[in-house]
């Protein structure tokens, strides 16, 4: 009968886990909530932020002047003219993507090809390539590839009816001035 009574005792509260079995769970006593302190609630404060409005965007037709031409298209969003960006025509966007791919791809591929050529020349013992030469060519070609994103964007003709030249020097000069003019107008 004494063995049955000993089984009914409450387990002891252990403050530290056992050093011999670190995977055993630690039991903590339940704490009571203080009824006098207010409960903290978390709430998102993004009600007025862009993209979080539940109202559907309004649509209106407007004329956009890009370069020398004027394009009529739909503009989405609220009716604040100072907050909206002009929509670029799809044909201009396609030209821009092609130019960016060319001006990024050509230097990138040529830089990788030059590294392979230097490796083959050194392995075949044709020429002992100095260590600085692959570093320099990588720096120049990958740097030119990085600048290709900006030049590909600027060298595209922003006029949908005008295709532009092959290298785009004239378009880059015109678009550079136009870009900074828009920046100065937006600050005013």
> How far apart, in Å, do the first and last CA atoms of the chain sit?
94
Residue 79 burial (C-beta neighbours within 10 Å; 0-12, 13-18, 19+): exposed
Phi-psi bin for 51: left (phi > 0), alpha (psi -120 to 50), beta? left
Of the spans 53-62, 85-94, 152-161, 174-183, which averages the highest pLDDT?
152-161
List the structure tokens of 21. Answer: 């079995």
> How high does pLDDT run on average in the chain?
76
User: Whole-angstrom Cα distance, residue 29 to residue 14?
Assistant: 10
Q: Among 43-52, 124-133, 141-150, 174-183, name the one with the lowest average pLDDT.
A: 43-52
Q: Rg of the Cα trace of the chain?
A: 34
DSSP letter for each residue of 28-49: -------TTSPPP------SSS
pLDDT in tens, 16-53: 666 666 565 555 555 555 566 566 665 655 555 555 44
Percentage of residues in the chain having pLDDT higher than 90: 46
């Amino acid at each position: 009968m004494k063995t049955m009574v000993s089984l009914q005792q409450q387990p002891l509260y252990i403050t530290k886990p056992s050093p011999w079995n670190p995977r055993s769970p630690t039991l903590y006593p339940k704490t009571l909530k203080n009824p006098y302190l207010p409960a903290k609630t978390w709430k998102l404060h993004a009600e007025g932020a862009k993209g979080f409005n539940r109202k559907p965007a309004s649509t209106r037709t407007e004329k956009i002047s890009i370069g020398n031409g004027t394009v009529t298209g739909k503009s989405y969003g609220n009716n604040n003219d100072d907050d909206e960006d002009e929509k670029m025509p799809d044909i201009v966007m396609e030209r821009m993507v092609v130019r960016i791919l060319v001006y990024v791809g050509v230097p990138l591929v040529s830089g990788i090809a030059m590294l392979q050529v230097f490796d083959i020349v050194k392995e075949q013992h044709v020429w002992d390539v100095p260590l600085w030469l692959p570093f320099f060519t990588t720096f120049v070609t990958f740097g030119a590839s990085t600048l290709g994103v900006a030049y590909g964007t600027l060298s595209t003709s922003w006029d949908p009816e005008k295709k532009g030249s092959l290298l785009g020097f004239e378009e880059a000069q015109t678009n550079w001035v136009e870009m900074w003019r828009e920046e100065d107008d937006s600050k005013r």
